[in-house]
Structure 1
Amino acid sequence: MDNEVQSVAQNLAITLEEHWMLFIDHVPSIGLAILIVAIGMLISSKVSALLRKAIAQKVEDTIMINFLGKAIKILLLGLFIMYALQVAGLDGIATGILTAAGASAVIIGFAFRDIGENFISGIILSFNRPFNVDETVSIGDIFGKVKNIEFRYTKLKTFDGRDVYIPNSDVIKKPVYNYTEDGYFRFDFLVGIAYEDDIDIAQELIMKVVNNTSGVYEDEMHHNFIITEELAVNTVNFKVSFWVKTFEYGKEALMIKGKVVTAVKNALVKEGFNLPANIQELKLYGDQEEFPVRVQQ
């Protein structure tokens, strides 16, 4: 029994020694492989940066430039890693990686279907998309400014300061509302006057105020207008629509709307138009004979 244990120990020692000597023999090639990977990282970064600059001179598209730059960097780095494995004498591992990647493509496709779908969607969005960086969009129920498109997601910055990462597949599938693609946006608001007031004079006054407000825009394609929206319980309501020319759907555009609403209200009051409040109905119940309220002058 002792002889068997001793024999196993000797065989194990011999095996370890052989593997150690084999490792020592491969140390130079392993070191060279590590150096190749390091050089590959440096070269891929430099080439990616140079290509970004070259593309930027011909294409003013930040998203496409970033996407292509990252794709080229990953591709070059992958080639350097495969070459480093061969230099290190690990051809079998390199071949195995390629073989496994091909053989397991279907399995990986099912296991990481969402990742693959988002990746393909990211490629589509980079070359054919409904928005650019810094444009204001609404995707589903998310409203904000586009900051970037990555391989798997699109990043939006909402106007209340939140960063939202939307899967690219959702961007492809859901309706996308672009508020600033051409630089024009229309605002609408309601204003009501009393029934005894003159509708035509009120509309003329409102449109004059709107068109004279700084920041409001109008041309042959973009018309400001006002319509009688409804005959409400105690007011005649107008819908006022006007355009602003701005790529910044945020503070600037909202401030213009605020100025328009304020100017319309002040002008109507100044010209003697009534802006009735909501009418409240009071009822007496049971043995009540009078309202428990008192009017003070």
Structure 2
Amino acid sequence: MNDWWSDPVHARWLEFGTSLGLRLLGALVLLWIGMKLAGMLADWLGRGLQRTHMEKTATLFLARVAQVALQVVVLLAVVQVLGVPMTSMLAVLGAAGLAIGLALKDSLSNIASGVMLVALRPFKVGDVVTINGVSGKVEEINIFQTRLRGTDNQTFTLPNSLVTTDSIVNMTPDEMRRIELIIGIGYGDDIDLARATVMEILHADSRVLAEPVPNVLVYELAESSVNIGVRCHVANADFFATKCELTEQIKKAFDRVGISIPFPQRDTHVYTHATQPSRAVEESAI
């Protein structure tokens, strides 16, 4: 046994294995601690940015970018601990970066689009938007994707490049939102009575804001009805419930005061023509 340990070849292998094992152990410890620190520092940065009253969308995005950058630094440090020469590593990374950049051009486009979304701010976290035919509340803007929460609690995940190249309808750019209802009444009904009835409902609802002033206007003399427009403003959080309840209250109030709400209908007239007897039948009768 002593001869085995004293053999120069075995001793070198033992020294190499011990050194490699220590490097691997050190690299694993560094990787674990570094990733933990990267997450902690990113959270600390996010809380610090929030204290400066920076917009939540930019705060979350910058914190995520900082975390990814710190993780890359940790990975480079781990590679150095393993004994890989940094000059060779940088050369390999440069060549690999070019190939990866060409292969992942769509992902890089998503990153650039994410930066544009944060810089231009067409919407922010918490806004209700419609993008590419999808409507929902913005929950998060990541480096690669934007996540929306739909009205039925479904999750929509859209690539950032799709968001910036498509039309964006932001339905909550301010703290309030306008409700617009178009309701048809009969041509024989009293327009002033209909307006007074609706205004009474609007003034009685505490969710309807006094400014801008709510109003009721005649929109159109349609084919079978006089279309009146009901317009008022409410807080963003009250929009959907208020719109539905106002529609119901107006219908019930119109029923009480005798105002009709026409609906499309068609009258069908059927004419029955008596068949004329043939000439042969007439001659036989004679």
Letter in 2 for 1:275: I
Match of residue 197 from structure 1 = 189
Alignment match of 2:170 (pick from 153, 172, 178) = 178
Residues 181-220 of structure 1 show CA distances to partners (whole Å, capped at 9, x for unaligned) of: 212111222222222222233223323332333311231x
SS in 1 for 2:121: coil
- Distance in 2, matches of 1:16 and 1:281, equals 105
Deviation at residue 169 of structure 1 after TM alignment: 1.2
8 Å contact kept, 1:188–1:239: yes
Alignment match of 1:74 (pick from 52, 65, 68) = 68
Match of residue 50 from structure 1 = 44
SS in 1 for 2:107: helix
Match of residue 126 from structure 1 = 118
8 Å contact kept, 2:64–2:142: no
Deviation at residue 69 of structure 1 after TM alignment: 2.2
Deviation at residue 176 of structure 1 after TM alignment: 1.7
Letter in 1 for 2:34: G
| Paired residues, number | 266
Match of residue 235 from structure 1 = 225
8 Å contact kept, 1:137–1:144: yes
Unaligned runs of 5+ in 2: 1-8, 275-286
Deviation at residue 60 of structure 1 after TM alignment: 4.2
Deviation at residue 155 of structure 1 after TM alignment: 0.3
- TM-score, normalised on structure 2? 0.81
Fraction of identical pairs, as percent: 26
- Distance in 2, matches of 1:264 and 1:178, equals 28
RMSD: 2.7
Deviation at residue 286 of structure 1 after TM alignment: 5.0
Match of residue 6 from structure 1 = none
8 Å contact kept, 1:210–1:264: no
8 Å contact kept, 2:129–2:138: yes
Alignment match of 2:214 (pick from 216, 224, 237) = 224
SS in 2 for 1:216: coil
Distance 1:99 1:223, change over 3 A: farther
Residues 68-89 of structure 1 show CA distances to partners (whole Å, capped at 9, x for unaligned) of: 2222222223223222322322
Unaligned runs of 5+ in 1: 1-14, 289-297
Distance 1:124 1:23, change over 3 A: farther
Alignment match of 1:266 (pick from 252, 262, 275) = 252
8 Å contact kept, 2:185–2:227: yes
Match of residue 108 from structure 1 = 100
8 Å contact kept, 1:214–1:256: no
- Distance in 2, matches of 1:287 and 1:73, equals 86
Is residue 199 of structure 2 the alignment partner of residue 213 of structure 1?
Answer: no
